[in-house]
């Protein structure tokens, strides 16, 4: 095991055999979501409290302080979105429309359905998915625009039948509004209202409501550390999607894979953020070395080479395991946001993978395709939380109503056993309510 080794001018945090990871190395590799920086937590709490107390006034002040923008109005008029959509370059509009169409198709196919079952004759229990009344979608902004995040949040909410969809995205200094491509995506996806708000302030506004921003029932969408922390801090008053951090990729591959492909996929995710985690685990030391060589060759050609380099130095690894079974075990423990599977036979291994935000099956299933165009959602759990959270879906935009029907005959059959239960728990009124339905009882 080599830690922090320099290979051909490229520094990777970990290289070598999985079996040789020390306890310290393994903890650093697997527990990649460190505790929130106390300064971030305190600053976020201050912003949340400020918005909760001062409402729109706080939001305008935060826009001035953090975004360098003086907002005349917090809400962006619909006419401005439509103008942005009309002005969109035709190739980009075609790509956005294709993406939205595929997202809608996939999420309609996986909509939850109402179900009933009869536990005993005369006892019917049902569950019905009811769309949420209002949801808030956050789309990152600032240094870059992310129309894909708009589509990934708004389209599934629309498919689920949500009553009102509110979008918040940071204003640019030039226009005082979210970027034109974000506004165009909002119009195309079917948002109802758009606000030029970013960061923890936007999350607090949607959680608690202000004079301008309505309170929502759930907040979804990715963001920076302050957005992620704000979502956690308001989760006692509003539902959120899975906590999310920097982008992650785990590639599981064997000797058959092209190492340049693996390097290309790793660099594509590394360019997101210096804190991105990119890992490849293969079945031989020879294949691992070939991937390192490919990374070394490709890194200098990247437009965002320094960001990629920081990610590789901070949380990058190319490892090898003694068998494909060991690779699968590693993947299930690592619980990556994105998992690219490039082994044979694919379907056999796919069936054994349990913990991943989404699995890309086969070398031609580039993660970039899932980020933008396949129709699967790219809002996914990170930091190992794929052990218990799933990616964003229509399930996030409904709540379940459970109902029960009990016939008079079934009530009579239940009465004695329920009465015995209630007696054991010393709840005599419960027992009386049940026994009132005994055959011949006076009600």
Cα separation, 51 vs 36, in Å, equals: 21
Long-range pairs, 433-439, Cβ under 8 A, ≥24: 437/408, 437/411, 437/412, 438/412, 439/412
The label of the residue with tokens 């201050």 reads 46
Please, how many CA atoms are within 13 Å of residue 280, restricted to the half-sphere of its CB? 35
- Read off φ and ψ for residue 159, nearest 5 degrees: -60, -40
**Tokens standing for residue 282:** 């293969």
| CB distance 355 to 388 below 8 Å | no
64 given a catalytic annotation: no
| DSSP code of residue 260 | H
Closest CA to 370 of 412, 416, 338, 322: 338
Cα separation, 302 vs 268, in Å, equals: 9
| CB distance 127 to 114 below 8 Å | yes
Residues 6+ apart with CB under 8 A from 3: 13, 14, 25
Alpha helical stretches, state H, 235-323: 259-270, 285-298, 305-315
337 given a catalytic annotation: yes
Q: Exactly one of 42, 338, 378, 425 is catalytic; which is it?
A: 338
DSSP 138-159: E---SSS--HHHHHHHHHHHHH
Q: Exactly one of 337, 378, 425, 430 is catalytic; which is it?
A: 337
| CB distance 314 to 217 below 8 Å | no
Cα separation, 235 vs 218, in Å, equals: 9
Q: Which residues are catalytic?
A: 337-338
């Amino acid at each position: 095991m080599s830690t922090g080794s320099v290979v051909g001018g490229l520094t990777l945090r970990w290289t070598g055999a999985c079996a040789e990871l020390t306890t310290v190395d393994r903890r650093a590799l697997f527990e990649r979501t460190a505790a929130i920086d106390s300064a971030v937590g305190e600053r976020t709490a201050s912003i949340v409290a400020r918005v909760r107390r001062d409402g729109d006034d706080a939001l305008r002040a935060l826009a001035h302080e953090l975004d360098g923008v003086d907002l005349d109005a917090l809400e962006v008029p619909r006419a401005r979105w439509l103008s942005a959509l009309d002005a969109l370059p035709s190739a980009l509009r075609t790509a956005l429309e294709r993406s939205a169409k595929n997202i809608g198709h996939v999420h309609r196919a996986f909509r939850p359905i109402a179900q009933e079952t009869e536990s005993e004759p005369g006892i019917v229990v049902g569950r019905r998915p009811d769309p949420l009344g209002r949801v808030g979608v956050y789309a990152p902004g600032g240094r870059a625009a992310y129309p894909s995040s708009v589509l990934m949040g708004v389209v599934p909410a629309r498919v689920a039948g949500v009553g009102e969809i509110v979008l918040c995205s940071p204003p640019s200094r030039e226009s005082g509004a979210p970027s034109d491509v974000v506004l165009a995506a909002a119009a195309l996806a079917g948002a109802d209202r758009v606000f030029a708000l970013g960061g923890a302030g936007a999350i607090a506004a949607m959680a608690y409501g202000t004079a301008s921003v309505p309170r929502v029932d759930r907040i979804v969408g990715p963001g920076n550390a302050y957005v992620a922390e704000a979502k956690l801090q308001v989760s006692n008053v509003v539902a959120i999607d899975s906590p999310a951090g920097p982008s992650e990729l785990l590639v599981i591959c064997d000797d058959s894979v092209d190492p340049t492909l693996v390097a290309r996929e790793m660099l594509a995710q590394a360019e997101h953020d210096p804190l991105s985690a990119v890992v490849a685990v293969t079945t031989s030391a020879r294949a691992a070395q070939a991937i390192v060589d490919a990374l070394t060759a490709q890194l200098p050609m990247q437009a965002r080479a320094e960001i990629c380099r920081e990610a590789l130095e901070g949380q990058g690894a190319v490892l090898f395991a003694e068998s494909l079974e060991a690779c699968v075990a590693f993947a299930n423990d690592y619980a990556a946001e994105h998992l690219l599977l490039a082994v044979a036979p694919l379907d056999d291994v796919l069936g054994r993978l349990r913990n991943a935000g989404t699995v890309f099956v086969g070398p031609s299933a580039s993660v970039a395709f899932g980020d933008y165009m396949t129709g699967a959602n790219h809002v996914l759990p990170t930091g190992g939380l794929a052990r218990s959270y799933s990616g964003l879906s229509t399930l996030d935009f409904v709540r379940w109503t459970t109902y029960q029907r009990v016939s008079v005959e079934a009530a009579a059959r239940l009465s004695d056993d329920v009465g015995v239960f209630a007696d054991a728990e010393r709840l005599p009124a419960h027992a009386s309510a049940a026994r009132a339905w005994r055959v011949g009882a006076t009600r």
